[in-house]
Structures are given as structure tokens and as C-alpha cells.
Chains A and B, each alone.
Chain A
Amino acid sequence: MTGKEKVLAALKSKGIKYIFGYTGGAIMPVFDEMEKQSELQFIMSRHEQGAAFMAQGISRGSLSTDNPQLGVCIATSGPGAMNLTTGVADAYMDSVPILAITGQVATGVIATDAFQESDIVGVMMPISKQTYMPLHADEVEPTIHEAHYVAVTGRGGPVLVDIPKDVQNQSVSKNYQFDVQNYQPTLPGYCYHPEPEREPLERAIRLLNKSERPLIFCGHGVIASRAGKLLQKFAEKSNIPIAFTLHGLSALPLDHSLSLGMMGMHGTVEANRAIVEADLLISFGMRFDDRVTGKLSEYAANADVIHVEIDPSEIDKNVPTTVAINADVRRTLQVLLEDPMLTCKPRRRWFDKIQTYRTVMAEEQQAEIDKGVGDTGKLLMKTIVSHLSQVTKGKDLIVPDVGQHQMMAARFYNYQTENSWFTSGGAGTMGVSLPMAIGVKLSRPDERVWSINGDGGFQMNIQELGTVMEHQIDIKMILLNNSYLGMVRQWQTLFFDGRYSGTPMLNPDYGLIAKAYGIPYLKVNKVKDITPALEKAIEQKGPILIEFVCDPTEVILPMIPSEGGFNDMIISRPKETASKKIKKGEK
């Protein structure tokens, strides 16, 4: 057997079904081998970045299924490998396990600036969990097994295996042996602590029982450890409200009576006000990112903090903890739920207070949604997302791109299905939605997947319409087209005196683009047409693109300005400035 055969053997033994990627000189041997087998399905992306996001889609989507899969992407050396980097960095920021396999120039010419050579191990090192370069065919199989292990254990992350072309073609040694069944990587220092320790747990329970105004934080770790239902039970049992991070959304139904919705920069008033007032934060699987905390010096000044987190380097990184529990969220919740010391308090005053926060923006927001159009008479994104939520009863899988529409999708879709929200949070990579939705759909073929895009991000990986066309991937693509880079425009409205520098977007005719790819297309201008269009998309077998003509002046509120505190929260739109600029600048 040769190195290239070992690559595929290792992937098959790990239960991999799909490989996303793009061929090229230095990876040709592996591709040649792929052609000889049928177990692994190769899906050609139109750009390597798309392949990395498709791989993420597989990992993220299958996380909550009975058969979690590691997303695999493959590319050639040099530019091919370099094109993977954004998708890999994105996976690193969001703790998503993926395996990136790249071809490398032959060992004899490495570091000679050979054709299509790049030091991809060096490039990927700071943006991945681990990088490998096997230098002999004998090393290929153990390397891929170790890479898989590192990617999926503890806090997940992307791993790179860079294989020189001669190693792919090289035969393994005569006495080569590898025990697939009993393989255990030798990594003496690599350990993670899934089990919570007793002592901090007891202190945590004492704080919980004592607290008058506690608040649970549901982070990505809840979804990653498949602990949504347990968290819900824990919240119900202890009668504590829950606020979600962007990545914590869809861990449990968003309209649960204890849910306060999303926290942070574009979080709800009730979630953010509750954080200010809380005397105890119990955070599960999150990292207190700056978009969550705002100004750190003012953050949760009145609260003790219990931090349950699998990655010890996140504990005390941004917010000092009172009790640190370095463990798996799921295991911690299991232990907490069984603990007889855990009590339930009515906390009426706390819930009354929260109820008053809930009403702050509720009426005007609902009025806006009902009206459905903004000052320009064009559609509001929040209305479209609300209609989508109603039409699908909040049960579908949502893959937004990055920007204003992403925050609308986070806020106005009523998530009911566990692990149904897939977004680029840490890196905030535009162009993620279309390729990631492809991966999510392949990982959950029986569920409906909506790729929600702005006109900026959609064009960043628009070439993946080719992949959709080729494999007739049944994703429903929504394009919220406001002819602007909406989020940056919003900042320009609020903080840059309405100077719209670099944000107006001259768009192509998306109907013609859809036609070129043979994808059905609808265009919606009126509120009354929103729901029928969405229903049409559901009836339609296979992919469809719906373009909604949106109001560029719409803003997502509330908003806590970058580096601002919760008291700086903006809850109403500065209408005059916005409308004045509209007359000057709009088409």
C-alpha cells in the first residue's frame, strides 16, 4: 500500500462520508486514488475556501446526530492550501473540528520555492489546533488518526495534514503495521478534563442556592457537548432565566419561558439588562468574547461568576471567575442535576424585574415587523425573518452569512430544533453561508436548510452556486438585498455621521445569475408576497433563490457600541440623521 491509499483508508475507518475540495498538481495522487473507490464521496467546491466551509457544515450539522462526522476538505499545495486558510481560521475561532488535507511539493524540493510551494504548516500553525507533515508513507495513517483525535476531543478545532507528493506515492515499509481498532495517540501532555471536580461544584451550588438574581449563560459548549436538554432541565429545576451567546442559540427552544434571548452587542434588552442586575452568572461553555461583554471594566460588576468550560485557558481570561469548573458542560450538568443540594426558589422580584425589561422595545419592534417596510418603502429584514420563522414554525436549520442580516436571523427566528443555527461568530467571515449550508444539508439531509445572505456576503462565495447546481443540493437561499454592506452602513449611520464610505454595492442581476446556474428564482418587493414566496420555496424540490429587496436604512437594535458598557445601549434609531442621508445618498 502507498501513502495515498493510507489517506483514504484512514478516512474510511473514521466513518468519513464526504470530502470537499479542489484538485491540483501536488494532491493528484490522492485524487487518483479517490477515483478508484466509491465509499467516500468527493464534492468539488469552486474555490478551496468553499470546501473548508462545507467541511465545517458537516461537522457542525452532524454534531447533534447519532453519527457525528468530521468535515474533511482537501486542496493542492501553494494557492490551493492558502485558499483554505480563511475557512480554517474561522473553524479555529468557533471551535469547529475539521480536517484539512493538503498536497505539498515533494520532500526533495521543499523550501526551494518550488512551483506552487507554500509553507502551509507555518501558515496554519497559529490558526489551527494542530498541524502535521508526514515525511514517510508509514506515518500517513497514524498521523490522520491522531489528527482526527485532536480535532474532535476537548475543545474542537481544525487540524491540518500536509502531505508531500512523493510521500503520497511512496509504499509503506515491508513490516508496516497499524492497529486501527486499538490505536491510541501518544500525547502525554494532551488531556482534557470532562469530569467536574467536587469541591468547586459544591461552592457553585452554594452560590446558586443563595442567589436572588441568578442568570444562566448558554454558550457554544452547550451545543458542542449536546447538552441543550440538560441545560433546559437545570434551568427549570433551579428556576433561573437563560441568556444565549450567538453560538448558544438553538441549544433549547428560544421561546422557552425562562429564555431572555441573545446577549451582547445586538442582544435583547432583557438579556443585557439582566446581566447588569444579576448577582450570579452561571456560564456554560463560552468565552466572554468582547461582543458579549462590551467594556470589561463595567461588565457584570454586581455578580459572582461560575464558569463551566472545557478549555482552561478561557477561564479568567476576560472575566474573573468566582468558581471555575474546568469540565465538559454535559458532564457538569448531569452531576448538577443529580445533586440533592440544588434548590429551587421562586425569585418573584427577579422575574418581575425581567418582565419590565422585556417590554422596553417589544411594542415598537412588533409594530416595525408588522409594518414590514422601512422609510424607503422597501422590505425590512426583521419582517422577512419573522415570516420565515412562522412559515417553518422555527423548526428549520438556519445558516446565515455575516452582517446585519445575521443579527436579524439571530434575533427574529424562533429556534425550536436543537443545533439548528450555524454561523460564523468569532471570525465573522463574510461568504460563509452558501458553502456552509451545503455541508449542513449533506449532514442533515432530512431537514430543511435555509441559507440567509446579504448582498455583500453572497457574492463572496457566489461561485458555490456551481456546487449547488452540480449536486442539486436542496438548500433554500434567501438574499436580503439592500444594496449596501448593511452592518458597516449601520455603524456609519450611528458613529460616522452618515458618511457611507465603501458600503454602497452595485449588484448584478441575481435573476440572471440564478438562471445561469439553472436555479429557480423569485424576487419579492412587497410584504404580502413574503410568505407566499417562502411557501413556494418549501414546495419547490431542490434549490431555489429568493431575492428580497430590502430597506438599506434598517438598523438592528438594540446595540451596545463597541467597547461601550451596557448603559450605553442604543434602543432607538436616530431617524433624522438616517433619513436626511437617505435623501442625499440613496438611489
Chain B
Amino acid sequence: MMRRAILAFMLDRPGVLNKVSMLFRKKMYNVDTLTVCSSRIEGISRMTITLREDNIAKVTQVIKQLEKFTEIISVKELDTNKSYWREAAIVKLEVDADHLKTFKKRYNFEVLDQKSEETLIIQIAGSTTQIDTFLDEVGREYIIEIARTGVAAMEK
């Protein structure tokens, strides 16, 4: 199913996150990622939700129903081709440091902490696919723990 990102701006009031997530539950979506942060304007939050849906009419309906919430200021779906979708991940790995170095050219990651020869904590940012491919190439079996932020998105 098609992955879609919905971007919403809303008043930073208690309960808004609850309302938004409740709507997605009511509409029977299992949300892929959801990120909330403050926006450029104080008191206004920015929320990015990614989910899977092929039917554009259903997405439009969700957007209209989000717009109904009194706290919501604006909502839109981001066009995949006209927007950047990025996430960051912190990964604890048990891997040979030299092996990791071989990826340095292709992937932009940073070592945050090296506990021992073989245990490192790194951070990596990029598209979801980039992070996925990086993890596949390094080898998922070496991962001890992973924390991903979920998608933040912006129009070009």
C-alpha cells in the first residue's frame, strides 16, 4: 500500500495529540510514524503522520476530519515527489569498528560513543529507505538496540 505523509499544524494544547491519534484509530489505521515538535511560531505544534493507504478519497476524508478539530490550524498531504521525508536513528551495535568504517563513504553517520572495540553507539539521519539499507548492509544481527525518530517531512 502507498505510504503517505500528512502534515498538520495545531495549537499546542493538552489533548490534541490524543484527539489526532484517536481519529486515526477510529478510521482503523495503524500509523507508521508520528512525530510532534514545536514550530517556528510559539504555541503552535507541527505534527507529521505517515501511514499506508491507496485510496485517495479516504485520505482526503481523514484530512477533512482533522481540520474539524478546533485546535487544528492546517492539514495537508505531502506529495512524495515534492517533499523531503527524513528520520534519524540512534543505533547500538556490536560490530567490528573497522567493518563499520567501510560504510562511512556511502552513509553519513556519526559515532556517538564507543564503549569497547566492538560496542558502538552511532547516529544516522536520512530517508527511511537509506536508514533501512544501511542497517541491512551493516547487518541487522549486529544491532543491540535501535531508536528511530519517525518521519519529519517538509515540502520542497
B73 to chain A, nearest CB (A): 3
A470 to chain B, nearest CB (A): 37
A189 touches B60 (CB 8 A): no
Give A311 to B64 CA distance when docked, in angstroms: 9
Using Cβ atoms and an 8 Å threshold, which residues of chain A touch B72?
189
Closest to A192 in B: B68
B22 touches A313 (CB 8 A): no
Q: Is B131 part of the binding interface, using a Cβ–Cβ cutoff of 8 Å?
A: no
Give A125 to B61 CA distance when docked, in angstroms: 19
Q: Is A188 part of the binding interface, using a Cβ–Cβ cutoff of 8 Å?
A: yes
Q: Is B67 part of the binding interface, using a Cβ–Cβ cutoff of 8 Å?
A: yes
Q: Is A312 part of the binding interface, using a Cβ–Cβ cutoff of 8 Å?
A: yes
Residues of B1-51 at the interface with A, using a CB-CB cut-off of 8 Å, are 9-11, 14-15, 18-19, 22, 26
Closest to A135 in B: B14
Out of B9, B15, B64, name the residue touching A125 (CB < 8 Å): B15
Give A149 to B19 CA distance when docked, in angstroms: 20
B74 touches A189 (CB 8 A): yes
Q: A108-139 vs B: 1/0 string, CB under 8 Å? A: 00000000000001100110011101000000
Using Cβ atoms and an 8 Å threshold, which residues of chain B touch A188?
11, 73
Give A316 to B14 CA distance when docked, in angstroms: 31
Q: Which has the most chain A C-beta neighbours within 10 Å: B57, B70, B74?
A: B70
Q: Is A190 part of the binding interface, using a Cβ–Cβ cutoff of 8 Å?
A: yes
Give A99 to B5 CA distance when docked, in angstroms: 36
Using Cβ atoms and an 8 Å threshold, which residues of chain B touch A315?
64
B70 touches A129 (CB 8 A): yes
Give A130 to B14 CA distance when docked, in angstroms: 12
A121 touches B15 (CB 8 A): yes
Give A317 to B63 CA distance when docked, in angstroms: 12
Give A182 to B9 CA distance when docked, in angstroms: 27
Size band of the B side of the interface?
20 to 34
Out of A121, A126, A133, A316, name the residue touching B60 (CB < 8 Å): A316
Closest to B13 in A: A132
Residues of B60-81 at the interface with A, using a CB-CB cut-off of 8 Å, are 60-61, 64-65, 67-74
A190 touches B57 (CB 8 A): no
Closest to A313 in B: B64
B15 touches A150 (CB 8 A): no
Give A317 to B11 CA distance when docked, in angstroms: 26
Number of A interface residues in the complex (CB < 8 A): 19
Q: Is A506 part of the binding interface, using a Cβ–Cβ cutoff of 8 Å?
A: no
A189 touches B15 (CB 8 A): no
A187 touches B61 (CB 8 A): no
Q: A319-331 vs B: 1/0 string, CB under 8 Å? A: 0000000000000
Residues of A185-201 at the interface with B, using a CB-CB cut-off of 8 Å, are 187-190
A189 touches B18 (CB 8 A): no
Using Cβ atoms and an 8 Å threshold, which residues of chain B touch A313?
61, 64-65, 67-68
B18 touches A187 (CB 8 A): no
A564 to chain B, nearest CB (A): 24
Give A404 to B85 CA distance when docked, in angstroms: 54
Closest to A122 in B: B18
Using Cβ atoms and an 8 Å threshold, which residues of chain B touch A189?
9-11, 67, 69-74
Out of B15, B61, B73, name the residue touching A131 (CB < 8 Å): B15
A317 and B61 in contact (CB under 8 A), knowing A125-B18, A125-B22, A189-B67? yes
A187 touches B70 (CB 8 A): yes
Give A129 to B65 CA distance when docked, in angstroms: 12
Give A313 to B63 CA distance when docked, in angstroms: 8
Closest to B62 in A: A313
A150 touches B70 (CB 8 A): yes
Closest to A187 in B: B70
Using Cβ atoms and an 8 Å threshold, which residues of chain A touch B71?
187, 189
Q: Which has the most chain B C-beta neighbours within 10 Å: A130, A150, A189, A313?
A: A189
Using Cβ atoms and an 8 Å threshold, which residues of chain B touch A187?
11, 70-71
Using Cβ atoms and an 8 Å threshold, which residues of chain A touch B26?
126
Give A129 to B74 CA distance when docked, in angstroms: 18
Q: Which has the most chain B C-beta neighbours within 10 Å: A125, A129, A313, A315?
A: A313
Using Cβ atoms and an 8 Å threshold, which residues of chain A touch B14?
133
Using Cβ atoms and an 8 Å threshold, which residues of chain A touch B11?
187-189
Closest to A314 in B: B64
Give A317 to B26 CA distance when docked, in angstroms: 15
A126 touches B64 (CB 8 A): no
Using Cβ atoms and an 8 Å threshold, which residues of chain B touch A130?
70
Closest to B68 in A: A313
Using Cβ atoms and an 8 Å threshold, which residues of chain B touch A150?
70
30 of the cross-chain contacts (CB-CB < 8 Å) are: A121-B15, A125-B15, A125-B18, A125-B19, A125-B22, A126-B22, A129-B70, A131-B15, A187-B11, A187-B70, A187-B71, A188-B11, A189-B10, A189-B11, A189-B70, A189-B71, A189-B72, A189-B73, A189-B74, A311-B68, A312-B64, A312-B67, A313-B61, A313-B64, A313-B67, A313-B68, A316-B57, A316-B60, A317-B61, A317-B64
**Interface contacts beyond A125-B18, A188-B73: sample of 16 additional A-B pairs, CB < 8 Å, sorted by A:** A125-B22, A126-B22, A129-B70, A133-B14, A187-B11, A187-B70, A188-B11, A189-B9, A189-B10, A189-B70, A190-B70, A312-B64, A316-B57, A316-B60, A317-B61, A317-B64
Pick the 4 closest A-B CB pairs, nearest first.
A189-B73, A313-B64, A190-B70, A189-B72
